[in-house]
Structure 1
Amino acid sequence: MRWLKENALALAFLVMFLLAVGGQAVAGLLQFNDTQLAEGGEPISFFRYVASSSFAVDVAENWQSEYLQFFLFIMLTVWLVQKGSPESKRPGREGAESDEEQQIGRHAEAGSPAWARVGGLRLWLFSNSLGLVMGGVFVLSWLAQSVAGQAAYNSERLGDLRDPVSWWSYVTSAEFWNRSLQNWQSELLAVLSMVALSIYLRQRGSPESKPVGAPHSATGVEG
């Protein structure tokens, strides 16, 4: 029970994620089969659908936009600040900060991770590991979207008796960028809303909000 309590936030989002992916798969299958029947085709099974390029591209295009959002937010908040937002560092603390502030090298504490105590490449990798992983997942998701999207796009073209296109032609097409940008703009708007609205609005008890009584100008303060 203690383990569940200490990991409740991650577990809650994991359960919601699995339910959402399962729901998307079921709804997508129903929509796909409805289109198949309307066009005189045969419906397909659930397992064939979730292994299809049609399902893969829908999942990958959402994943890459989400990880782009977090990658940009993680990296930009190193150097950029927003006065009054709990999502920002305090003005004047822009940058990677000193070794003492980051508790690395000789400033490491008893409970600090082992790689925080060393220097060289290992320290650099650990110091930038969150951004590297988020950026890496974005790139991989983008590539997965492009490959699955090309396959789905060519399937539609072949159904219309048109020639398939190459990967390069697909990733430079309006089809690909329309799918990508419609997700990017919504993610960037969500981050902008969180950064700006948290200056003036509060949610009692949430670490994403300032304390209810904190001044609007308070920056980098969590409730």
Structure 2
Amino acid sequence: MTRRQGRVGPTRPRLRENGLSLFFGAILLLSLVGQAFTGQAGYNDQALDSGLPTFTLVEYVTSSQFAVDVAENWQSEYLQFLLFILLTIYLFQKGSTESKPLDKRGRESDEDQKVAEHAQPDSPAWAKVRGWRLSLYSHSLGLTMGLIFVLSWLAQFVAGHSAYNAEQIQQLSDPLGWTDYLLAPDFWNRTLQNWQSEFLAVGSMVVLSIYLRERGSPESKPVGEPHGSTGSQG
């Protein structure tokens, strides 16, 4: 009995400590699988109506049609977080949990950020030293989010160009070159319809967190906290 507890015991704390990332990773995979099946079904329905060949599931998930749908959603999500990370350095919203306290504008001092000589014993190694490593690590989150945004937007552009031209050929129309597609309504319609939804979601969260509460959530202020309290979470 003791040995069995020794094997099982450490697993539960790890699951509990990483529950949020594990949960979102699982529902991401489930939603991608669901998108693949429903997307294939929708594509094949249209193909049958038009007298065109249908796709197997493998053919569909490796097609430009599936890739552009995934990429256009991913790039807008990472743009949302990139803008939020950078704008909240200097911009405030009084009373919002999504804003820093009003006296914390800018990059803040080394002491506030606990870097170099102000680092703690368990601080990340690159936070303890000055030079290019500290500078790079100080901007690593924004740089990574920005890189993923650019790559996913590029993937949307490439896959969207291929999908658009496939439709053009099916309709016996001339395909577009890269530059023409970059200026085409199809590319910007796909892009902007995702951007506006992300901007709406973030803006709503910023404003609604001023006046509304969710007890126990770090995205909400304590239930009894005044509306004007800024950056407070509980």
TM-score (norm 1): 0.99
Summarize deviations over 1:48-102 as a string: whole Å, max 9, x none: 0000000000000000000000000000000101100011111121100000000
Q: Which runs of 4+ in 1 moved over 2 A?
A: none
1:209 aligns with 2:227: no
1:151 counterpart residue number: 162
1:190 aligns with 2:192: no
Q: Measure the CA separation in 2 of the matches of 1:164 and 1:194.
A: 42
1:200 counterpart residue number: 211
1:103 aligns with 2:98: no
The equivalent position to 1:71 in structure 2, one of 82, 102, 110, is 82
How far off is 1:221 after superposition? Answer: 0.6
Q: Measure the CA separation in 2 of the matches of 1:40 and 1:28.
A: 18
The equivalent position to 1:167 in structure 2, one of 178, 191, 209, is 178
Q: Measure the CA separation in 1 of the matches of 2:83 and 2:164.
A: 29
35-44 or 57-66, which deviates more: 35-44
- 1:113-128 alignment runs, 5 A limit: 113-128=124-139
Partner of 2:188: helix, strand, or coil?
A: helix
**Identity of counterpart residues, as a percentage?**
59
| AA partner of residue 150 (structure 1) | H
RMSD of Structure 2 on Structure 1 (CA) = 0.6
The total of aligned residue pairs comes to 223
Q: Measure the CA separation in 2 of the matches of 1:18 and 1:155.
A: 28
The equivalent position to 1:136 in structure 2, one of 125, 137, 147, is 147
Q: Measure the CA separation in 2 of the matches of 1:43 and 1:158.
A: 16
1:112 counterpart residue number: 123
Summarize deviations over 1:168-191 as a string: whole Å, max 9, x none: 211111111011000000000000
The equivalent position to 2:40 in structure 1, one of 29, 34, 47, is 29
The equivalent position to 1:62 in structure 2, one of 63, 73, 93, is 73
Partner of 1:23: helix, strand, or coil?
A: helix
How far off is 1:15 after superposition? Answer: 0.5
Q: Measure the CA separation in 2 of the matches of 1:93 and 1:100.
A: 13
Q: Measure the CA separation in 2 of the matches of 1:110 and 1:150.
A: 51
Q: Measure the CA separation in 2 of the matches of 1:127 and 1:37.
A: 54
1:177 aligns with 2:194: no
Q: Between Structure 1 and Structure 2, whose CA radius of gyration is higher?
A: 2
TM-score (norm 2): 0.94
How far off is 1:42 after superposition? Answer: 2.2
Partner of 1:79: helix, strand, or coil?
A: coil
Summarize deviations over 1:97-146 as a string: whole Å, max 9, x none: 00000000000001100000111111111000000000110000000000
Gaps of 5+ in 1: none
